[in-house]
Amino acid sequence: MKHRRKKLTALLIAVSLWMLAFPGCATLEDQMREYSIGDKGPAGGIIFYDRGPQEGRWRYLEAAPAEYEQSLRWGPSDIEAETSMALGAGPGNTQAVVEAFDAAGEFDTAAQYSSSVVINGYDDWFLPSREELNLMYRILGVSKPEDFRGVGYGYWSSSQYSRTLAWAQGFASGVQGRIEQFDRLIVRPIRAF
């Protein structure tokens, strides 16, 4: 009994610390429930990635419901933010890009929309990194194409290539490319929990 109480206390402390690090991210119920790829997530989106049970701050990636897609520009040219293409980089990328655009007086960009959207009470959305976007395409874009705008539409990532180009991905063929930042592409926010 004493050992069991210690384990429960340690679990509650770990979850509480995680929630402090990512406010608004996940409830205790979110953390305790098991999800499968394709399940409806706690915010009403679709689960498209499961890292598996492990130590860390998050396990699942959830794509926002289709009705939250927007056609927006990535941003103005000639503003550079420190970004990465890696899995797990989306939140940091989004924050860096939003800060750069806010400081420049720019508004209505892909990252700003993604970081400001609130869906079913969840406000921890971000623009996916290049690798996160590729996972969303490979898991959902291929198996559930009806949940995306379809042939001819590209989706923005939060990964910048240069001062004038950012990474995007077509959801018809899965091709990734470097696109002019002022072009209007589709934005599909995601969240990690």
Cα–chain center distance at 70 = 14
**Helix/strand/coil (H/E/C) assignment for every residue in 110-159:** HHHHHHHCCECCECCCECCCHHHHHHHHHHHHHHCHHHCCCCCCEEEEEE
**What pLDDT shows up at residue 33?**
86
Q: Distance (Å, rounded) from C-alpha 114 to C-alpha 86?
A: 18
**What pLDDT shows up at residue 80?**
87
- Residue in the block written with tokens 């690090």: 21
**What pLDDT shows up at residue 76?**
87
**What pLDDT shows up at residue 96?**
97
**What pLDDT shows up at residue 7?**
41
Q: Of 145, 140, 190, whose CA–CA distance to 172 is shortest?
A: 145
pTM comes to: 0.82
**What pLDDT shows up at residue 23?**
44
> How do the domains of the chain map onto residue ranges?
66-192
Judged by DSSP in three states, 38 sits in coil
Q: What is the pLDDT along the chain (193 residues), one digit of tens a residue?
A: 554 444 433 433 343 433 434 444 455 555 568 999 999 999 999 999 999 987 778 999 999 999 999 999 999 878 889 999 999 999 999 999 999 999 999 999 999 999 999 999 999 999 999 999 999 999 998 888 878 876 678 999 999 999 999 999 999 889 999 999 999 999 999 999 9
**What pLDDT shows up at residue 134?**
97
- Is 50 exposed, middle or buried (CB count within 10 Å of its CB: 0-12, 13-18, 19+)? middle
Q: Of 161, 165, 186, whose CA–CA distance to 68 is shortest?
A: 186
